Amino acid sequence: MSEPIIAVEQLTKQVQDSTGTLTILHAIDFRLEPRESVAIVGASGSGKSTLLSIMAGLDTPTSGTVRLAGTDLFSLDEDARAALRAERVGFVFQSFQLLANLNALENVMLPLELRGVPDARARAADMLGRVGLGERLRHYPRVLSGGEQQRVALARAFVVAPAVLFADEPTGSLDFATGATVMELMFELNREAGTTLVLVTHDRSIAERCDRQLRIEAGRIDVGLATA
């Protein structure tokens, strides 16, 4: 069996509130294989986004760990985790998180420039062309539609060929038709790049397109196969 791209081991997350200790995640264990697509599903407040944030090293667990390509994320300091994310991970969020003072091309170029990639401009332009925005390179986020902004975010995530792409409700702020187009692009790029796709979604039709679904209920996970 190949080494998992992500191994979640006895992951627990607790926080303090006015009533005492609240356990958001309870001793969660699972593994994700390279190239796999996985949907994290469950009711609001079940711990989906918290789990995603910890898997990406953006949040820290109370106990347990996450191994990304064999590296224990929480044996690293914050700077080292950020460096590992920059090298191996892409993100797509509901809120797009584009930089308003950069145009579409510059937004997609940014992660390449941070890596010192010499042909950043050409690679970014090519990726924007692949998501159908070849004529919108010089446009700023304020003049792009929601669907166009999300396609820029997709291009930015995939241009670095990440080992893992984390997506948190990537179509949550889009209308149905636009959301369907964005998801088709995401799955297409996932197949082409061989990227492991991990997405949080409330949309059953999106979840059922994934290889597997991880269902969270009250911070506990039930690992099951997605419907083919």
Percentage of residues of the chain with pLDDT beyond 70: 96
User: Is the separation of the CB atoms in 163 and 132 below 8 Å?
Assistant: no
Residues 203, 204, 205, 206: is their CA dihedral positive or negative?
positive
* pTM, two decimal places: 0.84
- Compute the average pLDDT of residues 147-170: 88
**What does the pLDDT read at residue 223?**
52
The 3 state secondary structure assigned to 162-210 is CCEEEEECCCCCCCHHHHHHHHHHHHHHHHHHCCEEEEECCCHHHHCCC
Domains of the chain by start residue, with CATH: 6-223 (3.40.50.300)
Q: How far apart are CA 192 and CA 189, in angstroms?
A: 5
Question: In the predicted model, what is the mean pLDDT of residues 14-42?
Answer: 90
Which residues face 7 on adjacent strands? 31, 67
Residue 228 confidence (pLDDT) above 80: no
Check pLDDT > 50 for residue 225: no
Angle (CA) 162-61-52 rounded to 5° is 40
57-66, 104-113, 190-199: least confident range: 190-199
| Each residue's pLDDT tens digit, 104-148 | 999 999 999 988 888 999 999 999 998 889 999 999 999 999 889
Residue 170 CA to residue 93 CA, distance in Å, equals 5
